[in-house]
Amino acid sequence: MAGIADAARQVLEEGGRVALQYATADGYLPLREYIADRYRRRLGLPAAPGEIQIVNGSQQCLDLVAKIFLNRGDHIGMERPGYLGAIEAFSLYEPEFHTVALEDDGPDLSAFEALVERRPVKFFYGVPNSQNPSGRTYSQEKRRAVAEILEATDTLFYEDDAFGELFFDGKPRLPVKRRLPDQAILSGSFSKIVAPGMRIGWIYAPEAIIEQFNVAKQAADLHSNFLCQMILHRYLTMHDLDAHTRRVAAAYGENCRLMCDLLDDLMPPGVSSMAVFKEGIRRKVAVMPGVPFYVDGGGEDMIRLNFSNADTESITEGMHRLAKVIRGLV
Amino acid sequence: MAGIADAARQVLEEGGRVALQYATADGYLPLREYIADRYRRRLGLPAAPGEIQIVNGSQQCLDLVAKIFLNRGDHIGMERPGYLGAIEAFSLYEPEFHTVALEDDGPDLSAFEALVERRPVKFFYGVPNSQNPSGRTYSQEKRRAVAEILEATDTLFYEDDAFGELFFDGKPRLPVKRRLPDQAILSGSFSKIVAPGMRIGWIYAPEAIIEQFNVAKQAADLHSNFLCQMILHRYLTMHDLDAHTRRVAAAYGENCRLMCDLLDDLMPPGVSSMAVFKEGIRRKVAVMPGVPFYVDGGGEDMIRLNFSNADTESITEGMHRLAKVIRGLV
């Protein structure tokens, strides 16, 4: 917070005139260099600044991908359950959704293979790390298998990696794109690791695809907020992002463990998620019912809980309220 | 500039935590109140904050309108020549363009009437104030006639008003929307009057249409950069925007007059705009050829010049270089 304020002051004192003018659609070059360098250093991915496009958070990447690749009736693949923001963004372009069950360690591989072999989907959209809403992470074996199946069928993979840096076990996750350099669009975001209110994320893709993103981005809103790109970059050069994400991940990990423990302790099984949602609102505890995450039906017995944006007191109080709601419904 | 820096410091010191968090899709309420109040005060338009949606500059409004209203093959109307940013944004949705010649005082009314009567266009896109690229402004008579024709045919008007505050003759222009409250989408932008690099504009439309914009905005990028919305609002509360726009308009007016005088003095008639463009680049004077502004062909004898983002020395030097280029081609 104070760090962002310092960075803002410096940018506006030193380079304010540039920060407030029109800029290029691809994004602030030093920020793109920082992102590419970080991929090389952290994950051994051979990223170049020309393969990075700055966007307004992961959500705009969803919209630009849809804008570039989808026409009404096109087929796309995604996980079941799937990320609601993606379902909403894609739905406006009226594709046909095909889902593959997301198991504990990644997609059901035989269903996945059957889908991409049966029909040419424009892309398969997946969230291999801490998927929203399931929280599941693909195993190394499933990452390899997914890459092989996609490569064999020449299918594009849209790898949404908004959470890739926030793992709780100390082991960095290697993107599927590492095994599929020419066939994967990898998107990332500063929302979860620095600040969502700045709306700054990025796309990492082969240059031929990045050129299409440049055109779509220009048509969408010319370029992302340039002042904030400069403030963010200044902040990043003054702070150790690795250390920061480790602290954030550790705090999220504690919240997650607390919530899971309370789930085990407090909750009886077997109630309708929509009923929990409605009764929860009445008793001031908000949950996300599972239904909207299933484009082809299902999710009635699922809810999504949020452990990242709450302190331990709120989690404890919320879980006790939720237990009361659910016990009242059993 | 110093004003923006002050505003940024205050926002980050006082409300930084909120400024950096996720926010709602419609935009920062005090900023929407400011915009609505300004419409009421300056132009007598009965705008309410619930009729305002914040977007990333006018360009995102173009994209959201297309996203909401256009499917492939839909018919839309626009001026000839038309704004290139709009042509690019709409083209991605593959509509059929129908153009109406833009005369000195607005659209050719009989062609306009014939178009909207002949076929149901999804909307007519127009720039009544200082149109880009022609610089033309609709007369009061044509504004009234356009509103009457649109009302009689129940046709939606998309009124792009990025330049409405920057008039050179001291007379504020009344938007067509004033006569067409339920059938017009009016878009505005802080790009030309405060700073383009912040990418903040707005849409003013009936609430039923604003609801659709909310959904489309959420799918596009969740919400506009919240930190900059707060900085901008703080800046606006500390400064007299009316006085500022009067100063900007006066400076632009002087540049415009200088450029027009030099055009009269220096330029011979009758050369190809594409040749001027290519030869100009070689001699380091950039002009925009007219051709891309004509979706159905034309514009070979037109160029667009920019007088807003240059000082008098650059204009004088540039016009002399341009005269040399053109004389060399005659």
Kindly report, residue by residue over B84-106, the tens digit of the pLDDT: 999 999 998 899 999 999 999 99
Residue of B nearest to A20 (CA): B197
Nearest to A100 by CA among A121, A118, A81: A81
Question: What is the model's pLDDT at position A197?
Answer: 85
Give B6 to chain A, closest Cα distance, Å: 9
With an 8 Å Cβ cutoff, are A16 and B5 in contact?
A: yes
Question: What is the model's pLDDT at position B172?
Answer: 80
Place B68 in a pLDDT band, splitting at 50, 70 and 90: very high
Chain B neighbors of A225, CB-CB under 8 A: 56, 197-199, 224-225, 228
Question: What is the model's pLDDT at position B211?
Answer: 97
Give A223 to chain B, closest Cα distance, Å: 8
With an 8 Å Cβ cutoff, are A5 and B16 in contact?
A: yes
- Interface with A, mutate which of B22, B225, B234, B306 (most A CBs under 10 A): B225
Per the prediction, chain A carries an average pLDDT of 92
Which SS3 state, helix, strand or coil, does residue A195 take? coil
pLDDT at A270 over 80: no
The two three-digit tokens of residue A188, written as one number = 């990332």
In this prediction, residues A248-255 reach a mean pLDDT of 89
Residue of A nearest to B4 (CA): A12
Per the prediction, chain B carries an average pLDDT of 92
pLDDT at A92 over 90: no
Place B1 in a pLDDT band, splitting at 50, 70 and 90: low
With an 8 Å Cβ cutoff, are A226 and B60 in contact?
A: no
Q: Residue B54 belongs to what H/E stretch? A: strand B52-55
pLDDT at A170 over 80: no
- Interface with A, mutate which of B9, B53, B61, B221 (most A CBs under 10 A): B221
Strands (E), B62-150: 75-80, 96-103, 106-107, 124-126
Residue of A nearest to B19 (CA): A197
d(CA B173, CA A120): 53
- What pTM was computed for the model? 0.88
Burial (CB count <10 Å: 0-12, 13-18, 19+), residue A22: middle
Tell me the domains of chain B and their CATH numbers: 2-238 (3.40.640.10), 241-329 (3.90.1150.10)
pLDDT at A1 over 70: no
**Alpha carbon distances (Å) from A134 to A88, A196, A256, A265:** 17, 21, 13, 20
With an 8 Å Cβ cutoff, are A4 and B20 in contact?
A: yes
Residue of A nearest to B3 (CA): A12
pLDDT at B228 over 70: yes
Question: What is the model's pLDDT at position B275?
Answer: 87
Place B21 in a pLDDT band, splitting at 50, 70 and 90: confident
With an 8 Å Cβ cutoff, are B221 and A227 in contact?
A: no
pLDDT at A20 over 90: no
C-alpha triplet A241, B4, B202: angle, nearest 5°: 95
